Chain A
């Protein structure tokens, strides 16, 4: 059974950075890719980017290019999302999601529980 367990709630100040983790279990980690999707309060879902652990290759939405870094550690079967230069509009629940393909195909079979990131001065 696939489980994606994310790190806990974060409160950050504008201009700082946040790094959220997502540990996968019950899967052969390198056989899949992982993406990060966020959801601002009362809003829809927004794909930020993804990583292919087998090669370490990443793909980002242009909106977040230069501000987000997604990585994967095969030794701990954990994926990370770091977002820098935080602003109030980045307040959202951040989800990691498993793609059933080793490449970033954009379909999400399994999701983490979500991590609330609040950006406030």
Chain B
């Protein structure tokens, strides 16, 4: 199965700063089927990005996804207070669909 490794584990930033989250796959996600989810404490995940760079409906444009092959990035251009959460990447190229361990974005 494809193993996804997210880095860093925790990102400490201030509101208004730029966040860059990385997701590295153990083998190529050849069709670019990489998604990003946001999860707040006590809540279910929320889809942000599909197919590496397509924002889901209602997702602000400060969220952007990029990458291909084995290296993918989620960028939050200017952190808003509501953006402090855990972010998970997920590949849906090869079954079983797998997730990274998550990156926590916390207030510095």
Whether B92 contacts A106 by the Cβ 8 Å rule is yes
Q: Are B92 and A44 in contact (CB under 8 A)?
A: no
- Count of chain A to chain B residue pairs whose CB atoms are closer than 8 Å in the complex: 47
CB <8 Å contact, B44 and A107: no
Query: What chain A residues lie within 8 Å of B99 (beta carbons)?
Result: 44-47
- CB within 8 Å for A44 and B88 given contacts A61-B96, A109-B56: yes
Report B30-73 CB contacts with A as 1/0, cut-off 8 Å. 00010101000000111100100000100000000000000000
Task: Please tell me the number of chain B residues within 8 Å of chain A, measured between CB atoms.
Answer: 20
The SS class assigned to the A binding surface is loop
A114 within 8 A of B: yes
On whether A107 and B92 interact (CB within 8 A), knowing A44-B101, A47-B98, A47-B99, the answer reads yes
Are B96 and A63 interface neighbours, CB within 8 A? yes
Asked whether any CB of chain B lies closer than 8 Å to the CB of A62, the reply is yes
Interface contact A95-B44, CB-CB below 8 Å: yes
Of A35, A46, A59, A111, the contact of B45 (CB 8 Å cutoff): A111
